[in-house]
């Protein structure tokens, strides 16, 4: 009976320990860097996997095995939906609360976060670098140690830091600086190139 009661407690403890808002800053930063490294390292494997799945699906289709072809197609859709950079969230059909880190990062590549007052920084992510652009600046500023978590971005500046908290609507955000200042921001799709 002791084991039966302990099991749910242990599982709850594990899920709480992995919740980003409960992790210490250093652990959260390390986890973000680890997740990004894993994502970069597995991208070639995923591409090979997708290519092989397409070949197998074609084999099933040609042999008339419709159930196997459909199951393979569904797996392909799942893989390609979560790996298309800049894909709009509406087409992902995933609310912010259910997004994986990978989905959030890909959504982030398709939007700009613009402060409405004070600094009027425009934040952007291209899949590799997070930048800010202040009106009148000669070009965007690259923030190398940016930490991206689902729904929030930690942006280091030289003399301050900013924490961007994305609203569940995915249309607005709140930027809070380490100085205590809070600025409202709007989120808009990036212009198509």
- CATH T-level assignment (fold) for domain 101-189: Lipocalin (2.40.128)
Q: How far apart are CA 99 and CA 149, in angstroms?
A: 10
Give the count of beta carbons closer than 10 Å to the beta carbon of residue 20: 15
The DSSP bridge partners found for residue 83 are: none
Residues 113-124 have pLDDT tens digits of: 999 988 899 999
User: pLDDT at residue 19 above 50?
Assistant: no
pTM beyond 0.75, yes or no? no
| C-alpha distance from residue 64 to each of 20, 57, 132 (Å) | 47, 11, 53
pLDDT in the model for residue 122: 96
- Cβ-proximal residues to 50 (8 Å cutoff; 6+ apart), any chain: 76, 79, 80
Q: Is the pLDDT of residue 145 over 50?
A: yes
3-state secondary structure of 28: helix
31-40, 43-52, 82-91, 128-137: the lowest-pLDDT one: 82-91
182 or 84: whose pLDDT is higher? 182
Separation of alpha carbons 59 and 49, rounded Å = 15
What is the pLDDT confidence band of residue 192, given thresholds at 50, 70 and 90?
low
Percentage of the chain beyond pLDDT 70 is: 76
Give the model's confidence band at 22: pLDDT under 50 very low, under 70 low, under 90 confident, else very high. low
Average pLDDT over residues 173-180: 95
pLDDT of residue 11: 45
Cα–Cα dist 154/173, whole Å: 13
Model confidence at 15, pLDDT cuts 50, 70, 90, reads very low
Q: Where are the domains of the chain?
A: 25-81, 101-189
Give the sheet arrangement for strand 172-177, strand by strand.
141-143, 130-133, 122-125, 111-115, 182-189, 172-177, 161-166, 152-156, 147-149
* Summary mean pLDDT of the chain: 80
All residues at 6 or more sequence positions from 101 whose CB lies less than 8 Å from its CB, including other chains: 35, 39, 148, 149, 150
Q: What is the pLDDT of residue 175?
A: 96
Interatomic CA distance for residues 175 and 172, integer angstroms: 10
Q: How confident is the model at residue 27 (pLDDT cuts 50, 70, 90)?
A: confident
Q: Please report how many Cα atoms fall inside a 13 Å half-sphere around the Cα of residue 102, on the Cβ side.
A: 15
């Amino acid at each position: 009976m002791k084991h039966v009661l302990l099991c749910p407690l242990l599982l709850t403890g594990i899920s709480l320990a992995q919740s980003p808002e409960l992790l210490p800053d250093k652990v959260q930063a390390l986890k973000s860097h680890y997740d990004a490294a894993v994502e970069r390292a597995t991208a070639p494997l995923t591409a090979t996997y997708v290519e092989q799945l397409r070949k197998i699906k074609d084999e099933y289709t040609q042999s008339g095995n419709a159930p196997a072809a459909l199951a393979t197609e569904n797996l392909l859709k799942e893989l390609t939906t979560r790996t298309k950079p800049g894909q709009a969230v509406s087409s992902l059909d995933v609310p912010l609360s259910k997004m994986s880190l990978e989905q959030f990062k890909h959504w982030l590549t398709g939007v700009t976060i613009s402060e409405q007052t004070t600094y009027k920084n425009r934040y952007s992510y291209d899949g590799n670098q997070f930048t800010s652009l202040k009106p009148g600046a000669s070009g965007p500023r690259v923030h190398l140690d940016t930490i991206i978590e689902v729904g929030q971005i930690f942006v280091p500046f030289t003399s301050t830091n900013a924490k961007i908290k994305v609203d569940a609507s995915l249309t607005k955000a709140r930027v809070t600086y380490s100085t205590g200042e809070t600025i409202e921001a709007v989120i808009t799709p990036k212009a198509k190139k």
